[in-house]
């Protein structure tokens, strides 16, 4: 999750980013720092108790196993704030775990009846979705088999440091069935683009190409279609764990950032289309993948700076400046 302090200047976004809480502590023998939340079913209760027993045998830390429904309100489906004293280890999927339902609604976790597919699984760290420093470890899949595989994988990843036990950041995804077929189809479509990626994101490339068409405006690396493509690559990385997509996201965004002075000039000329069309998708994608191992701390800063720099420039878009005191139908026309 993008968490910040700092201010915006007239010329750039000067963002002081808060620390990323990439590690999820299990606690110490006398002070558990996590709880296992399960669907209300005997099958998942067995998996949850087996997980708690295995963690205790490995670390001495005894985690409680509770129904996820006790940690949310029924309507609206929000988290009970008083329950956020411990990290969550979440089993199940969208349809049977109310906390995962909340994460799913905010794009933070994907498994439902189709994704990850039969026997597929997801092991994912979701950093600070409900409050800073409170993490969720998702060990999930479309069915019981997938959940069990996620739990088995998770148990292999426990870290220790001076009697403190924790999970490092994880993004491990195994797709099967229709989900795997859809991902393979998407990967095949994008493969030719990734082979010659400089043509899409390097300013002044002699054989420049656009992600959509050959309109001269769309051949520039900072056009809104490229930023939209960056958002698509970012979300694809979140869905699949394929590092190629994370690399594509970073190259597009940093390629745009290299031309920030030219972009500022465009905004002076009244060109609002960059963040106007693509800003929301780009920001959501970065929020999903910022903490991942695909980026170093040095690489994260300029991406965050660029997004906020662009958001600041976007204050001058036509309908915000010219339409703020006009009826809605006038602005639409």
Please tell me the predicted confidence (pLDDT) of residue 11: 45
DSSP string, 210-254: -SS---GGGGSTTSHHHHHHHHHHHHHHHHH--HHHHHHHHHHHH
Q: Is residue 135 included in any domain, yes or no?
A: yes
In order of 22, 47, 104, 146, 317, the CA distances from 84 in angstroms are: 17, 23, 18, 27, 40
Q: Domain check: are 280 and 298 in the same one?
A: yes
Please tell me the predicted confidence (pLDDT) of residue 215: 66
Give the chain's radius of gyration (CA, Å). 22
Which structural domain, as residue segments, surrounds residue 259? Answer: 178-322
Q: Is residue 67 included in any domain, yes or no?
A: yes
Q: Please say which residue of 145, 168, 191 terminates a domain.
A: 168
Q: Domain check: are 150 and 226 in the same one?
A: no
Please tell me the predicted confidence (pLDDT) of residue 257: 87
Q: Domain check: are 53 and 113 in the same one?
A: yes
Q: Is residue 57 included in any domain, yes or no?
A: yes
Give the number of domains in the chain.
2
Please tell me the predicted confidence (pLDDT) of residue 259: 82
User: Residue 89 belongs to a domain with what CATH number?
Assistant: 3.30.379.10
Q: Domain check: are 194 and 214 in the same one?
A: yes
Q: Domain check: are 135 and 39 in the same one?
A: yes
Please tell me the predicted confidence (pLDDT) of residue 5: 41
Q: Domain check: are 267 and 217 in the same one?
A: yes
Q: Domain check: are 193 and 316 in the same one?
A: yes
Please tell me the predicted confidence (pLDDT) of residue 26: 96
Q: Domain check: are 121 and 29 in the same one?
A: yes
Please tell me the predicted confidence (pLDDT) of residue 162: 80
In order of 116, 162, 259, the CA distances from 201 in angstroms are: 32, 46, 11
Residues of the chain with confidence (pLDDT) below 50: 1, 3-13, 331-333
Q: Please say which residue of 139, 168, 197 terminates a domain.
A: 168
Please tell me the predicted confidence (pLDDT) of residue 17: 84
Q: Please say which residue of 106, 134, 168 terminates a domain.
A: 168
pTM, two decimals, is: 0.88
Is 15 in contact with 314 (CB distance < 8 Å)? Answer: no
């Amino acid at each position: 999750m993008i968490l910040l302090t700092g201010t915006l200047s007239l010329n750039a976004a000067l963002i002081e980013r808060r620390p990323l809480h990439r590690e999820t502590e299990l606690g110490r023998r006398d002070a558990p720092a996590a709880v296992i939340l399960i669907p209300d079913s005997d099958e998942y209760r067995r998996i949850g108790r087996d997980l708690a027993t295995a963690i205790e045998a490995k670390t001495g830390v005894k985690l409680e196993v509770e129904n996820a429904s006790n940690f949310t309100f029924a309507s609206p489906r929000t988290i009970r704030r008083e329950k956020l004293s411990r990290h969550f280890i979440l089993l199940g999927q969208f349809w049977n775990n109310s906390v995962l339902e909340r994460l799913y609604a905010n794009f933070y976790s994907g498994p439902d009846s189709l994704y990850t597919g039969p026997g597929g699984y997801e092991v994912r760290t979701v950093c600070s979705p409900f409050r800073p420093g409170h993490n969720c470890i998702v060990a999930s899949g479309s069915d019981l088999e997938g959940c069990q595989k996620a739990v088995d994988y998770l148990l292999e990843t426990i870290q220790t440091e001076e009697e403190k036990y924790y999970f490092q950041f994880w993004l491990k995804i195994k797709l099967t069935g229709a989900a795997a077929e859809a991902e393979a189809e998407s990967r095949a479509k994008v493969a030719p683009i990734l082979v010659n990626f400089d043509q899409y994101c390097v300013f002044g490339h002699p054989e420049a190409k656009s992600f959509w068409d050959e309109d001269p405006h769309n051949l520039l690396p900072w056009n809104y279609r490229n930023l939209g493509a960056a958002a698509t690559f970012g979300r694809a990385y979140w869905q699949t764990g394929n590092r190629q997509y994370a690399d594509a996201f970073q190259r597009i965004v940093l390629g745009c950032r290299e031309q920030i002075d030219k972009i500022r000039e465009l905004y002076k000329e009244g060109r609002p289309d960059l963040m106007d069309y693509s800003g929301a998708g780009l920001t959501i994608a970065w929020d999903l993948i910022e903490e991942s191992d695909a980026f170093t701390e040095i690489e994260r800063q300029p991406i965050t700076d660029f997004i906020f720099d662009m958001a600041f420039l976007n204050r001058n878009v036509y309908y915000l400046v010219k339409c703020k005191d006009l009826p809605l139908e006038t602005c639409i026309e």
